[in-house]
Every structure is written in C-alpha cells, then in structure tokens.
C-alpha cells in the first residue's frame, strides 16, 4: 500500500484559489489497494482512540458528505480499490438464485428484454465509466464473474439500468448519496446494489444482503456457508433493513469495500430535445397522463431568468426511449469508441463538435494567453443566439465596449477558466448596474448547451454514451459549479410550485438586491428529472414517482451561495428531501422530518458499530444531520 500522507484535501468543485478545504498537515490520507489494507486502516484508527475516519470516492460531492472544512481525522481514498471480483459470484450464489440466473433466455438480436439481468461484483472505488466500459466488455482485463458458468444467456454486453448525467464518480460514492438520473420508472443507482461487503468500526467485516433476492426467488442471494468459506471470518447479515440502510449511508456505517450489482442487457437510447415555454410545460407536468410521461426519460431544464422581450421563461424538454443495441452496433453510433475501452474517462461527450470554440478552449488549458481575442470570440459566438448585438461589431455601444476592455484587463491580471470568466462577467455587470443583461447571457448559454434535437433527427447511441455527458478532457471550461438538488412527490404540484413560488421569485429578488440587501448575480438553470422509488431507507427518491430538481450555477457568481441556501430552506418548508451529495445544510430535525425510516437506519448503525468505537465514522456533517446511533 502507498504510505499515508497529509496532503491538502479538496472537493472537485472547490476553488483552486480559495484557502484549501482541509489544509496539508491536518489528518492523514490513506490509499488502500486491498481489503486487507482497508481492515488494517480502520482497525488502526479505532485503536488510536478518537481518530475519526471518513471514506471518499472521486471528491465530487459538493456538500460536506466526506468531511467538513478542517476535518482533523483520516480520509480513506478508494480509487485504488477498483477491481472486478470473482470469488463470490457465481460460486456463493444459492442454488435457487443460480437457477434463476442461468435459466434466462439468451438475447435475441434486435430486441431488448429489460427483465434480463446479470450480476457483477466490483470494488467500491471503481469509477462509473470504468464500470460501464467493463459491462460492455470493452475492457478485456475484467471479464464477467458469471462467464465461468459458460451460459449463452449470460454472454454479450451488459449495462447499468440507469445513470446520472456524468460518470466520474465512484460507484459507491455515487450510490451512497442517492445519485440518480431521469428514467421515470427507475430507482437511483443505489438500487442496483444487491450486496455490500462493509468494513465497520474496529475493522469488523460484514456481508450484507436482503432476506429476499427477488419476487421470483424469495430467499437471500448467497449461501451463507459458502460465503464464510470464501471470505473467512465475517458477519453475514441477510436482512432487508440492513441492506437498505447501506445503500444510502454517506460513509457513516463504515467503509464499503465491494458491492454486487444487478445489471441489464446492453441497450441504446434515442433522445429528442425541444425548446418550449415554461408556462405551457408546467401545465402538462401536472397531468400524469401527459405525453411528457410517456417515454423512459424526461428532463425539463428551466431558465429561472425571464427573457427580455416578453418576460416568459424558456425551458428545454428532453425525452428518451430505450432501443435495442444490435450486434454489430450501427455505424453511426460513436459512443462505444468515445466512451469505453481506451476512451473511458478521457474524452469529451458525444455531444461535442470537434471544432467548436468551447471544445478548443476546454481542451487547451488556454488560460487566456490572448484574452482579448478569446473574449471577443466568445461574445461574437454568443451574439447571434443572445441577440447581444450591442456587444460587438459596427453598432458597438461605447459603454459596453468599456466594460469589455475592463473585463479583459481583469482576465489578463488573473488568468481564469471560461466558467470563472463568465461568472466574473455576470458579477461585473450586476455591480455596474447592468443586471438587465444577465437574462440574455444565460439564455444564450442554455440555448448553446440545450440545442434542439428534432423528432425527425433524434440522437441515438449506446446507453452509457447517451447518459454520461461529462467532458473528461475539460481543462479550463466550466470548472467550478455549485448546486443543490431537492426532491418532491411527483404525484403533487410541489415540483412546479417550487419553480414558480421559490426559484423564479428568489432569483429575481437576488438580482434586484431584495434577497440580501444588495444586487447579486446568478446565472444557471433548474433541471427537473423524474425517477422511480428507492428501497434505501434514507434515499431522497422516497415517492413512487419522485421529481428531483437541481439548481446549478457557476460557483464564482456573487449570488450563488445566498440563493442556493434560500432555495434549500424553501424546499424543506415545502416537504422536499435534499440530495446528500449536493450542497446542503441538513439538521437532525430536517432528517427526522424527511425519512420515516430514519430510526431503523440508526438501529442498523448501532448494530454495525457494536464491534468498535461507534464514533469511528462520525463527522461534523453526520452529527449535524443526526446520522448517529439512536
Ligand atoms: C459534475 C457532477 C455531476 C453530477 N451529476 C449528478 C447527477 O446526474 N445526478 C445526481 O444525483 N448527482 C450528481 N452529482 C452528485 C454526485 O453524484 C455525488 O456527489 C456523489 O456522491 C459523488 O461521488 P464520489 O465518488 O465523488 O464520492 P465523494 O464525493 O468522494 O463522496 C461522497 C460520499 O460517499 C461516501 N463514500 C465514498 N466512498 C465510500 C465507500 N467506499 N464506502 C462508504 N462510503 C463512501 C463519502 O464518505 C461521502 O459521504 C454530480 C456531481 C458533479 C460534481
């Protein structure tokens, strides 16, 4: 194992210019590469009484879910734990589960049977893009654990049933905060998990799975005797509450070493996107029989700032269906080459057009060596969409020209990413009394990112390439963002009311100066996505259909913090649950009000902590949120 160190620790979206989140010299960072390393680290921390220990994945959480600023304890980095495992699956499966698995019909080309499944056992620090690449058999070093059975029905390519909008998180880091996508009837990523191998307080190990594997096989997945033979001394818990507590547990129950996932046959997705008016779409969202809910996936992106000319709010409606992934894949599908195998975790998304200005800047690490040219290029690029004609060209408005020159000087003095630059433009405009320009700038940005995908020419490709929209080659674009996600019962009007009664008026108040006492800038969007219900006891998708609303903006915007805090508070008052892995300030009272299963969750925590110090995995965040023993 690489020796521990005490380097500074930051989250992905922390500003590199800010004082660091946890400075160097405070606490230790561990880099386990095996189960043995992990057990040693946790047992050692428990012996050194009072040393708290927190697991982390890819540092993508925007909350203090890993640890609070200045956390004095140890942080366990899990990227070194990214192997596929072959000891438990299939050899420890119960006979009935094994019969159910191998008794499935082989794939039929040109059709897609969503009910077909396979099981995949993987270490917790595996990134989502590593996982989908392996499931699609684009990483020959990691075949399927069930390949040893040599059953045609289990051959071919597989996929996660759903994903969020990016794949850089670790599978457990994502699952354990309730990370989700927008597939209407699919629960979040956490619900793929069928079993968890956990290292709890004192280094005590647990294998946790449900008492019932499925409706067809109402018995546990594994044969406890075989598990004990293969994994050695560990406590086997076959209990629904115990697994449902682990699914979303924010690192508080211990460090998850590995998970067994239920995956589906590979499939494609066909997507359209249309620019619409929010005042029309909101009415359709209130009708459960609306065509909006007739497809597999729905996302509605709303601009909280109204348009200049008519004060209406633009929105962009994306819908997608699942389609068969034929073998061989259609030649027009670029996703596998772009996103899997050698392309996994390194390329821009399949949306990117190779020559566009953003791609060039994002890949270049340009740091605005020629800031004036880049700045004008950017504004010219945006001008047609934003109708920002006064910014450039022959009809230049003197006052705006002066502002541009000042901005250019600013970026020259302090080189910054495109995202930070745009945020500074917005801050500057508001400070200079030109807040009226914000809506146009944001409309242009959203239009750029959300361009129409017409019904006649839908976008289609392999599942994961359509879902993972993250640009892994990005060096200097939208580096720093901040966001909250709040969830409502989609069977009510609360999601729509949150947009109309909180997001839109609060954004106006912020820009007018009424929210904080002085005008402040915000530019960003609200994205409504819909999911099925989770089994996780403290998962945010607690309704049969959940409407999750993300509000995101550039982190350097002067008003982002006050606005997001206000929106979180409004949403809680309206009965929302709040995403654990996005910005949040949860209190014990909030959590008690949100989750009827919280006492059962705390009971599982008490049970799993009984072998050591129950405070081993505690942090200021878990204490504030009441993720503590009863
Ligand atoms: C660019 C971006 C896009 C995003 N897109 C979406 C989206 O589409 N949908 C959505 O719902 N969310 C989204 N998120 C939120 C993100 O998915 C969550 O914050 C997620 O928890 C981050 O995973 P991570 O691997 O980086 O974990 P970290 O941020 O490192 O940790 C998150 C939590 O997981 C715990 N943890 C990590 N590893 C382990 C382990 N082995 N055992 C036990 N606990 C562990 C940590 O203690 C912590 O509580 C996005 C975030 C970003 C930055």
pLDDT higher than 50, residue 397:
no
Per-residue confidence at 536, pLDDT binned at 50, 70, 90?
very high
CA of 211 to the centre of ligand 1 (A): 27
**pLDDT reported for residue 612:** 80
**pLDDT reported for residue 121:** 98
Per-residue confidence at 390, pLDDT binned at 50, 70, 90?
very low
Q: What is the mean pLDDT of residues 427-442?
A: 78
Measured between alpha carbons, how far is 207 from 196 in angstroms, rounded to an integer? Answer: 6
Kindly indicate whether the ipTM for this predicted assembly is greater than 0.85, answering yes or no.
yes
Q: Which ranges in 308-397 belong to alpha helices (H)?
A: 335-339, 357-364, 371-386
* Residue with more model confidence, 374 or 528: 528
Atom 7 (ligand 1) nearest CA: 164
Domain 268-367+416-578: CATH class, spelled out: alpha beta
Task: Return the ligand 1 atom nearest residue 125 CA.
Answer: 41
Measured between alpha carbons, how far is 156 from 389 in angstroms, rounded to an integer? Answer: 54
Within 6 A (CB) of ligand 1 lie 12-13, 54-61, 65-66, 78, 124, 164-166, 169-170, 172-174, 176-177, 179-180, 250-251, 255-256, 579, 581-582
Measured between alpha carbons, how far is 123 from 258 in angstroms, rounded to an integer? Answer: 4
Range with the lowest mean pLDDT among 80-94, 348-362, 438-452, 497-511?
Answer: 348-362
Per-residue confidence at 479, pLDDT binned at 50, 70, 90?
low
**pLDDT reported for residue 378:** 53
Which DSSP symbol is given to 295? S
DSSP characters for 221-290?
SB-HHHHHHHH-S-EEEE-HHHHHHHHS-TT-S-EEEEEEEEEEE-EEEEEEEEEEEHHHHHHHHT-TTS
**pLDDT reported for residue 430:** 85
Cα dist from 549 to 44, 440, 579, whole Å? 41, 23, 10
Q: What is the mean pLDDT of residues 449-456?
A: 86
Of 212-221, 423-432, 608-617, the range with the highest mean pLDDT is 212-221
Buried b (16+ CB within 10 A) or exposed e, 220-234: bbbbeeebbeebeeb
pLDDT higher than 90, residue 309:
no
**pLDDT reported for residue 50:** 74
Mean pLDDT of the chain: 89
**pLDDT reported for residue 384:** 42
CA of 98 to the centre of ligand 1 (A): 32
- List where CATH 3.40.462 sits in the chain: 268-367+416-578
**pLDDT reported for residue 219:** 97
Fold of 95-266: 3.30.465
CA of 197 to the centre of ligand 1 (A): 19
Mutate to test the pocket of ligand 1, among 12, 60, 205, 609 (most ligand atoms within 8 A of CB): 60
**pLDDT reported for residue 425:** 77
Task: Return the ligand 1 atom nearest residue 12 CA.
Answer: 53
Q: What is the mean pLDDT of residues 371-384?
A: 48
Measured between alpha carbons, how far is 345 from 340 in angstroms, rounded to an integer? Answer: 8
**pLDDT reported for residue 489:** 98
Mutate to test the pocket of ligand 1, among 169, 486, 583 (most ligand atoms within 8 A of CB): 169
Per-residue confidence at 352, pLDDT binned at 50, 70, 90?
low
Q: Which two tokens stand for residue 382?
A: 């945006």
pLDDT tens per residue, range 161-203: 999 999 999 999 999 999 999 999 999 999 999 999 999 999 9
Q: Which two tokens stand for residue 52?
A: 């708290």
- List where CATH 3.30.465.10 sits in the chain: 95-266
pLDDT higher than 70, residue 14:
yes
Measured between alpha carbons, how far is 484 from 315 in angstroms, rounded to an integer? Answer: 19
Atom 10 (ligand 1) nearest CA: 179
* Residue with more model confidence, 524 or 359: 524
| Residue in this structure with the two tokens 């023993």, named with its chain if needed | 629
Measured between alpha carbons, how far is 344 from 134 in angstroms, rounded to an integer? Answer: 10
pLDDT tens per residue, range 270-293: 999 999 999 999 999 999 999 999
**pLDDT reported for residue 597:** 98
**pLDDT reported for residue 403:** 53
CA of 538 to the centre of ligand 1 (A): 15
Task: Return the ligand 1 atom nearest residue 124 CA.
Answer: 41
Q: What is the mean pLDDT of residues 83-102?
A: 98
Q: Which two tokens stand for residue 428?
A: 């500057």
**pLDDT reported for residue 370:** 42
Task: Return the ligand 1 atom nearest residue 481 CA.
Answer: 53
Measured between alpha carbons, how far is 466 from 336 in angstroms, rounded to an integer? Answer: 10
CA of 355 to the centre of ligand 1 (A): 32
**pLDDT reported for residue 379:** 53
Q: What is the mean pLDDT of residues 490-510?
A: 98
* Residue with more model confidence, 429 or 78: 78
pLDDT higher than 60, residue 8:
yes
**Helix and strand counts by DSSP (H, E) for the chain:** 20, 18
**pLDDT reported for residue 429:** 77
Task: Return the ligand 1 atom nearest residue 579 CA.
Answer: 11
Measured between alpha carbons, how far is 565 from 546 in angstroms, rounded to an integer? Answer: 22
């Amino acid at each position: 194992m690489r020796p521990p160190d005490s380097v500074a620790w930051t989250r992905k979206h922390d500003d590199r210019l800010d004082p660091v989140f946890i400075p160097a010299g405070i606490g230790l960072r561990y880099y386990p590469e095996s189960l043995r390393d992990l057990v040693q680290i946790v047992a050692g921390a428990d012996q050194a009484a009072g040393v708290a220990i927190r697991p982390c994945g890819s540092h993508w959480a925007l909350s203090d879910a890993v640890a609070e600023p200045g956390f004095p304890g140890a942080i366990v980095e899990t990227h070194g734990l990214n192997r596929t495992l072959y000891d438990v699956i299939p050899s420890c499966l119960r006979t009935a589960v094994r019969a159910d698995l191998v008794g499935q019909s082989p794939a039929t080309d040109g059709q897609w049977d969503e009910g077909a499944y396979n099981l995949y056992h993987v270490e917790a620090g595996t990134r989502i893009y590593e996982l989908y690449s392996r499931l699609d058999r684009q990483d020959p070093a990691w075949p399927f654990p069930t390949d040893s059975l040599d059953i045609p029905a289990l051959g071919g390519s597989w996929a996660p049933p759903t994903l969020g909008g990016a794949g850089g998180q670790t599978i457990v880091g994502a699952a354990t905060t309730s990370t989700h996508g927008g597939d209407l009837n699919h629960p979040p990523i956490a619900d793929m998990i069928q079993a968890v191998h956990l290292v709890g307080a004192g280094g005590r190990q647990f294998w946790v799975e449900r008492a019932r594997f499925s409706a067809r096989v109402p018995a546990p997945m594994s044969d406890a005797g075989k598990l004990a033979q293969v994994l050695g001394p560990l406590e086997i818990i076959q209990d629904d509450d115990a697994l449902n507590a682990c699914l979303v547990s924010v690192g508080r129950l211990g460090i998850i070493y590995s998970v067994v996932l239920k995956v589906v046959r590979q499939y494609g997705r066909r997507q359209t996107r249309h620019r619409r008016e929010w005042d029309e779409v909101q009415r359709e969202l209130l009708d459960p029989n609306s065509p909006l809910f007739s497809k597999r996936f729905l996302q509605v992106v709303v601009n909280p700032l109204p348009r200049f000319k008519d004060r209406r709010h633009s929105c962009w409606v994306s819908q997608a269906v699942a389609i068969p992934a034929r073998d061989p894949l259609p030649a027009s599908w670029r996703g596998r080459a772009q996103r899997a195998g050698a392309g996994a975790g390194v390329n821009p998304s399949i949306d990117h057009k190779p020559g566009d200005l953003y791609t060039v800047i994002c890949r270049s690490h340009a740091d605005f060596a020629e800031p004036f040219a880049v700045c004008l290029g950017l504004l010219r690029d945006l001008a047609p969409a934003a109708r920002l004609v006064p910014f450039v060209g022959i009809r230049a408005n003197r006052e705006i020209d002066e502002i541009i020159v000042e901005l250019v000087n600013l970026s020259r003095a302090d080189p910054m990413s495109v995202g930070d630059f745009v945020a500074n433009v917005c801050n500057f405009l508001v400070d200079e009394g030109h807040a009226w320009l914000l809506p146009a700038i944001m409309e242009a940005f959203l239009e750029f990112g959300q361009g129409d995908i017409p019904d006649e020419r839908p976008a289609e490709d392999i599942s994961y390439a359509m879902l993972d929209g993250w640009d892994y080659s990005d060096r200097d674009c939208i580096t720093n963002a901040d966001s909250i996600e709040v969830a409502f019962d989609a069977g009510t009007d609360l999601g729509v009311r949150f947009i109309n009664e909180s997001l839109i008026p609060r954004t106006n108040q912020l820009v007018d100066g009424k929210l904080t006492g002085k005008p402040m800038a915000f530019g960003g969007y609200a994205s409504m996505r819909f999911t099925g219900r989770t089994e996780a006891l403290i998962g945010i998708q607690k309704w049969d259909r959940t409407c999750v609303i993300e509000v995101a903006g550039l982190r350097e915007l002067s008003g982002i913090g006050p606005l997001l805090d206000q929106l979180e508070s409004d949403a809680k008052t309206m009965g929302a649950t709040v995403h654990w892995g996005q910005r949040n300030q949860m209190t014990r009272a909030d959590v008690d009000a949100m989750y009827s299963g919280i006492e059962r969750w705390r009971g599982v925590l008490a049970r799993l902590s009984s072998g050591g110090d129950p405070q081993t995995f505690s942090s200021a965040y878990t204490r504030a949120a009441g993720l503590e023993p009863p």
